[in-house]
Amino acid sequence: MKIYTKEDINNVLVFFISNIKRYFRNDGFEFCLAFIKTKNISCAASIKNALRNTDLVFATKNGIVILLSGTPYEHAYALINDFSKFVDGDNKICIVNFPLDSDNAQDLLEHLEAKFSVNHKEELF
């Protein structure tokens, strides 16, 4: 089990998306990228242990980013909302979907950051 860092997010997303486009381009494959604002970063390992092997967790200074592979928005929201309550109950979350919100890594991260800023009036990273 590996917990990735904020610096890893872009590289992992580029690799992940390129594989989706190569192998699943016509299958309607989607994933969600979610952010949970928390100061309790130590819970990242517990969250990773609760997820599937195909999901990824990134610890940042302001919270936890989770990549939920093959997960539509509705399922991601329910799961992330539960994790947010487990972490500290602050419930400041944000979720974006590939390919609905964007089909490339940089735009997806920018969309996540902009959406969090609009919804919570705070910076994501």
- Integer distance in angstroms from the first to the last C-alpha of the chain? 23
β-bridge mates for residue 63, sequence order: 37
For the chain, list residues with pLDDT below 70. Answer: 1, 89-90
Distances (CA, A) of 67 to 18, 21, 121: 15, 17, 23
Give the C-alpha separation, 16 to 78, whole Å.
23
Q: What is the mean pLDDT of the chain?
A: 90
User: Which pLDDT score is estimated for 4?
Assistant: 93
Residue 113, Cα to own-chain centre: how many angstroms?
11
